[in-house]
Amino acid sequence: MTVRDKIVEYLHRDENKRVAGRYWQSDLSSIFGGYMKPKDFFSKGEDIVDNAEIVCEGMAKENMLAAVFQKTGVDCYCGEEKLYGEKAQKKYILDIADGVTLVVKPDFEFPTKVWETKNPLNWDDYTTIKPSYKYQCEAEYRATGKQAFLGYFVPKRIVPILVGYTPDDKLWEEIKKKLINFDKKVRELCQQ
């Protein structure tokens, strides 16, 4: 067993089991991009296996920044509940349709804004929001009603480069429609 195998094992831990009707904001880009198919909803993501080190690098930077904010008294909800209790990331459950919910957890939530942070692979335009990240920003805006920002973690920096997100009613309707259709197919497969 290699260290990389242990990293993948950690990323595949079963803390949050998938349930039909309950979807995570982090699933949105995979659903829209066609990487997550209804038949694969309950399986462990191969994209995590392929990009394990990049995923962990982003998590490490996010966790370090959360520790800095928590230890220095920044008014921010961030980090893991087991470490930070009441000041950890808040979880929002958005009702999309009857029996369909979207779980939204902003990486960093301040009194007037939220940050969704990413450690992008094959992306170096830090002045615009990568299209696949817009779904999460939209969900965070809808969950909190606060200005959303995409924060890019870049090499040799712990402070993300922030890009403001403009809410989009049309995109929000597309997200809801896509989740409802995806859920219908997941439930049909569950009945087979």
Angle at which helices 169-190 and 134-144 cross, to 10° = 100
Average pLDDT over residues 167-181: 98
Average pLDDT over residues 107-136: 94
Average pLDDT over residues 97-114: 97
Which is more confidently placed, 35 or 112? 112
Is the CATH code 1.20.1290.10 the one for domain 3-190? no
Q: Pull the structure tokens for residue 91.
A: 């979880």
In the chain, where the domains are located:
3-190
Which is more confidently placed, 114 or 13? 114
Average pLDDT over residues 170-174: 98
The tens digit of pLDDT for each residue in 155-170 reads 899 999 999 999 999 9
Taking the C-alpha atoms of residue 90 and residue 40, their distance in angstroms, rounded to an integer, is 28
Which is more confidently placed, 18 or 177? 177
The tens digit of pLDDT for each residue in 2-58 reads 887 887 777 777 666 789 999 999 999 999 999 889 998 887 655 556 677 888 888
Taking the C-alpha atoms of residue 70 and residue 64, their distance in angstroms, rounded to an integer, is 10
pTM over 0.75: yes
pLDDT over 70 percentage in the chain: 95
Say if CB 115 and CB 151 are below 8 A apart.
Answer: yes
E strand or H helix that includes residue 186: helix 169-190
Q: What are phi and psi of 40, to 5 degrees?
A: -100, 5
For residue 127, pLDDT over 80 is answered with yes
Average pLDDT over residues 92-108: 97
For residue 131, pLDDT over 90 is answered with yes
Average pLDDT over residues 88-96: 97
Alpha-helix residue ranges (DSSP H) falling in 26-157: 28-33, 46-50, 52-71, 81-84, 134-144
Taking the C-alpha atoms of residue 130 and residue 133, their distance in angstroms, rounded to an integer, is 5
In residues, how long is the chain? Answer: 192
Question: What pLDDT is recorded for position 47?
Answer: 55
The tens digit of pLDDT for each residue in 56-70 reads 888 999 999 999 999
pLDDT over 90 percentage in the chain: 68
